[in-house]
A and B are shown apart, each in its own frame.
Chain A
Amino acid sequence: MVYHVKRMVAAVCLLALGAAFAVLSRLSREMRLELGGWRDGLTFSLGVWPKGPRAAFQFRTGVVHFLGRTPCEEHVRILFKSLDGALLPLTGLISPDTTFVQHRGVLHGPIAEGLAVARGLTIVQSYLLPRFMLRRSFKRLPEAGLSRLLEKAVLFLTLPFLMVAYSCR
């Protein structure tokens, strides 16, 4: 029972993360700056070993597309070693960087592109989580400002609808 609840929480978190990544790739100045260095067509996924929840993405024509659970031949894969380990970053208790520091996940694929994906995930986390949580898990807090506040407001207004839409994939 507990396992199934955890699995469901992880799946919902991945859905939120996926929808937020897609929205922020259009909305956030910081994210667009990061994506400026990405190669077109890059596919990547996050998943729980061995057959846990997963989420796949593709960077195409300047934005990140959330592919949901659709199987794909990804260039970069971040694989969490256990469900418990996955829940730590997925619920924002640790940052994507700390995921690797604490051996909670492994990276398959080119390191430079894996790092770019991790930086993208860090930006997503910085929008989704409240500042007191970021203070605990981030090396440096993101700059606060009116434009960021507005971007956050748009993200949180659209996120529930997008999550419903993406959950059908």
Chain B
Amino acid sequence: MPMKSSQTPFVPQYYEFHCPVKILSGLKALSNLPYELSLLGASRPLLVSDRGVVDAGLLAKVQASFQGTEAACGAVFDGTPPDSSVEIVDEVASVYRERGCDAVVAVGGGSCIDTAKCALMVLAEGVSDLKPLQGAERMTMARPPFVVVPTTAGTGSEVTGVAVVKDVTAHAKMAFMSFRLLPDVAILDPEMTLTMPPRITAATGIDALTHAIEAWYSLQKNPVSDAFSAAAIRLIMANLVTCVESGGDPQARLAMANAALLAGIAFSNSMVGVIHAVAHALGGVCGVPHGVANAILLPWGMEHNLGKAAASLAELAPLLGASGAATAEDQARNAIQTVRNLTARLHDCCGLPITLEQAGVARDRLESVARATIDDGSVTFNPEEVGYRDALAILEKAWG
């Protein structure tokens, strides 16, 4: 097992780290999109988005960035649903081919970005069936240029090589992991998140915090991902409440966009744990939005790991702004209490649920959720064992 100490950085026996994504962050960052596309040899991108993004006027901002350049919007696909599917992916790939596009620009949240990634897989591999590409590193062919403009600050999908879509006929989610799915460029422009409503801001922000915290104590943690986690946690603790209370603050919005990206880099290189496993299961079985599920589960998941990861959890305390304590376990408990205080404050600010009962989960569904939890890949990377009974115990505590 790796060495652990509160003074020296944690160095595992072996680790890998990969993030080649170019990051453009700041005011008017979006205006550099055509230039970045030209560097990638592209000028007719397909914009993959959803109706919410179009209605908020955000896609128009992307299209406006092409004015006065040689680049032009090749086509727009704005039909991405919140829970994308294989059929949608095929539609996106068809539009790309029919309209002679030469790049893909995803403009939206996690679902838009994942749909774009899967469409790129279809296009690169020349396949009609995505099933054989499930799992890790199945993609063998180079893909067209890929740029991501996130409109939420949470998923971190703009810097991960993972995509998940639904297989409607099999009633199952398909997951794909490949370094070829990592975007070429991620553009963080505060204008793209200014209009996000308070509750979605809170939920997506807690999603980013959960990425950073789970990456911090995951079994796959490493010194490089730790640096990204720490930076993300500090930014979130300093800016999330501001974004929820005064959404029009561009500096706070930019800070949160950066935090989500940093947390995304961290967790895509050290993975997440039981909180995400249960949250994915809650999403699948009860339809609880991912960020909401994370907000409810975060303190309980941290507590579940107190036995095996007390030292790592204790190190979180100063990052979260929690007070120190005489023992590692007490300090870890302080860190958990700080997270509880944050979610309680967000509950007061915007009604973000902090129990499963508040999120509308029926108590008799908890067993089904617990069964689905142990089939989620995230449990592998959780320090403490996660069996059916463990998952059920967490769910019962989180219920109310």
Contact = CB atoms under 8 A, between A and B. Distances in A.
Interface of A: 77, 97-98, 100-104, 106-112, 114-116, 118-119, 136, 139-140
Contact of A111 (B16, B135, B138, B220): B135
B134 interface: yes
A140 B385 contact: yes
B136 A107 contact: yes
Contacts, number: 61
A47 to B, nearest CB: 14
Interface in B229-254: none
B220 A101 contact: yes
Nearest to B138: A108
Interface string B265-297: 000000000000000000000000000000000
A87 B327 CA distance: 39
Contacts of B174: 110
Secondary structure of the B contact surface, majority rule: loop
14 contacts: A97-B219, A101-B380, A101-B381, A106-B136, A108-B134, A110-B172, A110-B174, A110-B175, A111-B134, A112-B172, A115-B379, A115-B380, A139-B385, A140-B384
A103 B14 contact: yes
Given A111-B175, A115-B380, A106 B219 contact: no
A116 B379 CA distance: 12
Contacts of A116: 375
Interface string B1-31: 1000000000011111000000000000000
A110 B134 contact: yes
A168 B175 CA distance: 37
A101 B375 CA distance: 16
Contacts of A109: 134-135
A115 B374 contact: yes
Interface string B37-81: 000000000000000000000000000000000000000000000
A112 B375 contact: yes
Contact of B377 (A102, A103, A115): A115
Interface in B133-173: 134-138, 172
Given A97-B380, A115-B380, A139 B308 contact: yes
Query: Which of B13, B135, B381, B385 has the most C-beta atoms of chain A within 10 angstroms of its own C-beta?
Result: B135
Contacts of B136: 106-108
B206 to A, nearest CB: 24
Contact of A102 (B14, B172, B374, B376): B14
Interface string B361-395: 00000000000001111011101110000000000
Given A106-B136, A111-B135, A115-B374, 7 more contacts: A104-B14, A106-B135, A109-B135, A112-B376, A115-B375, A115-B380, A116-B375
B135 A118 contact: no
Nearest to B218: A101
B135 A110 contact: yes
Contacts of B385: 139-140
B277 to A, nearest CB: 10
Contacts of A104: 14
Please list the 4 inter-chain residue pairs (A to B) with the smallest Cβ-Cβ separation, ordered nearest first. A112-B375, A140-B385, A139-B385, A108-B135
A108 B136 CA distance: 6
Nearest to A76: B135
Nearest to A107: B135
Contact of A118 (B13, B134, B380): B380
A103 B175 contact: no
A119 B386 CA distance: 11
B308 A100 contact: no
Contacts of A98: 219
A114 B135 contact: yes
A110 B137 CA distance: 13
A103 B380 contact: no
A114 B380 CA distance: 11
Given A111-B377, A115-B377, A115-B380, A103 B16 contact: yes
Count chain B CB atoms within 10 A of each CB in A101, A107, A139 and give the residue with the most.
A101
Nearest to B375: A112
Contacts of B15: 102-103
A107 B178 CA distance: 11
A100 B14 CA distance: 11
A100 B136 CA distance: 11
B95 to A, nearest CB: 28
Contacts of B13: 102
A145 B384 CA distance: 23
Contacts of A97: 219, 380
A111 B308 CA distance: 25
A162 to B, nearest CB: 29
A125 to B, nearest CB: 14
Nearest to B135: A108
Contacts of B376: 111-112, 115
Nearest to B381: A101
B45 to A, nearest CB: 31
Contacts of A100: 380-381
B103 to A, nearest CB: 28
Nearest to B390: A140
Contacts of A139: 308, 383-385
